[in-house]
Structure 1
Amino acid sequence: MTAPLTFAALGLAPALTDAAAARGYTDPTPVQAAAIPAVLRGRDVRAAARTGSGKTAAFVLPLLQRLAATPRTTTRHATVLVLVPTRELAAQVADVVRDLAPVLAQPPKVACLFGGVSINPQMMGLRGGADVVVATPGRLLDLVDHNALSLAQVAALVLDEADRLLDAGFADELGRVLALLPPERQNLLFSATFPPAVLALADSLLHDPVHIDAPDEPEAVPAIQQRAIEVDAARRTQLLAHLVRDGGWNRVLVFVATQYASEHVAEKLRRQDIRAAAFNGDLSQGARTRLLADFKAGHGQVVVATDIASRGLHIDDLPVVVNFDLPRSAADHVHRIGRTGRAGAEGLAISFVSAGTEAHFRLIEKRQGFRVPREQVAGFEPTEVATEAQATGGVKGKRKSKKDKLREAASRGE
């Protein structure tokens, strides 16, 4: 029988091995086993691994070891830069660094930078520099513009939730950040998904990278049951309230498409005596932090959120996720349902499907590789059911191409 792989066998120093054990990292996960040696060797890495697989420790542990071996100058320039798409993920990654770093002989100074709060305390915290910077792109650029931070000596760049940072929404900010970095650096890209649309851009940032597609360990695969409930769009809120009450759900995360929808649905639930709160980008950082703390502590029943909650939000005991509005893509679907079924617990992911969204959900099913049986709830049966033409309208190859239409017109003499 093969002996289990250890962090020490991967090349980690004893102090960091002990720190990992104290944090609950007993045996390396597949992504950690593949990434840690590569990062220690200074290689560029593109790693895809499911949500909850230990990606953060996979780059934090080896980067801390490399940082410990780097001679310090009198001025503390940023040596490691970790870019993340959301405030919540920035705080969580910074917490991991701060938990693991004190075991080093010279613990690094860590700065966590994100918007939604006053910039002045962050500027004060950067006096004297910082060794490790965890930041959202917008606030990072604000601080660079205020001359509070220099990126001229960054030796390692990490894009956490890289697929989100590489999409169009962050393109301008990411481009500005990259222009400020030295060309010679280590680049590490980590994400649960790398859709085809961002793969070329991802690889353009990397030099001779190690590609990691970490398989799930059988015992570590989250037990997420998926359900697809057919319902008219106008009756989704009533159905949601019914499911919450009938299922005795005491904690559920509901995803909607817009900030307005998060407020609107939460208000409708409150009118039905269900403890509900909206979570979106309009909330101040203080309000977002308090809401999440209350939710994790069990004081909230339903959080209705936009996709800012689909990345980096770690709630160990979240039994149910509901797609009130379907996600934009199969990749977003993976991130959303990955909020449940964590830490070995079972999870339930429910998607509401109407006649108008059947085609889109079929596309999501196609990309994830399996079909979710449709079901109906008594009393909420839909009055509109998708026709086959509607249902296949969003699947590539089912609609006639422009060339086919032109050929048909030519054959008719039009």
Structure 2
Amino acid sequence: MSNVASKGLGGEYYLKNHTMITYYTSFNTTNETGTEFADGGYFNTYVRCQDKKGNTDSTSFVFKYCVQTKPDRDAPAIVEEFLDPLNNFPIAKDQTSRNVSVYVNKPSSCKWSKEDKDASLMENDMICDYTNPLAIRGKIVFKCTAELTGLQNEILNTFYFNCKSYPGKEEKDRFSMTKNYEYKLQGTRELVIQDASPLNGTTIKGNTININVTLRATTILGYENGKAVCFYKESSKPETSYIPFLNTEGTTHSQVIWLSNGSYNYDIRCMDLAGNYDEKTIAFNVESDTSSPIVIRMYNEDRKLKITTNEQASCSYSITDCNYNMEEGNPLTTTNGKEHYLDYSSTGNQNTYYIKCKDNYGNKPSASQCSIIVKPIEL
């Protein structure tokens, strides 16, 4: 067993899950979290745990290892699931370079090229940290990084990677991948917010103190034909104030907000998976209307009682009193939303008309009140 004893797993923190990295002596350098093994043979690593109060396991848990003595002649392999970004990932329009991270299953040096050629002819070296193994999701890997250049819009940009094992060893003990790894980045086009609402200058009305306003956006182009995530904020607030729409991650996006009386400016930003984004600013007004319609004019013309309201409304009447539901009253004829009349030519002008009017937001007089009472003498 190694002469490195009593090493802590997971640093000085008290955790439920702990990780230890192991590797061969043919790998020249160790670090603080590693346990080094000699070439060849069977080895045991004993683990015992202690909690914050100093309680220790009465027995040790044993990890048993077998390390082969013959040289490792297998070529390195790129661990595809750890690529960052993943293969075939999209890139933003006009992005000409991209940093990528490649993870290899053993210490290696790696190269890249835009052509599928022999590794010895590849023009570009990756930066590989082959002295510090990483444990990622149960696998020991070594990280290499590169800046891929020459990216183009709206095409599949293809690159080729090749890695060679054990830098520092004699060439006869180093082995390259027999086939280049093909890596692709999808070029895209710009994302466009086709429309956003409420439209500029719109006034949203309601009959409550706080009004229900729906923000909407439609996205096109970009990656996946407009599929995006949209965010919103008041224009006066900082960039960090953006909030994701409740209904998003498609091409149509919506978010309900509640606003009081006033004028508002909102910024809408949408972004696709490639990083393309578009922004629009919308300006609208919110008006709370909690008052029932007012009759601003009443007159008699051609044996018709005509009234005018200060806003669009529907009206009905009773000849008994004001204590009736509008739905049960007799409707007046409405011509343009604000002009209303009833024809009394067949009944004469002997009745008193108790008239109630309701606006488009449901505001109307209380049960015992009328908008106007017209007596026979006024006809």
Q: Normalized against structure 1, the TM-score is what?
A: 0.17
Q: Which has the higher contact order (CA 8 A, sep 6+)?
A: 1
Q: Please identify which structure carries the higher helix content.
A: 1
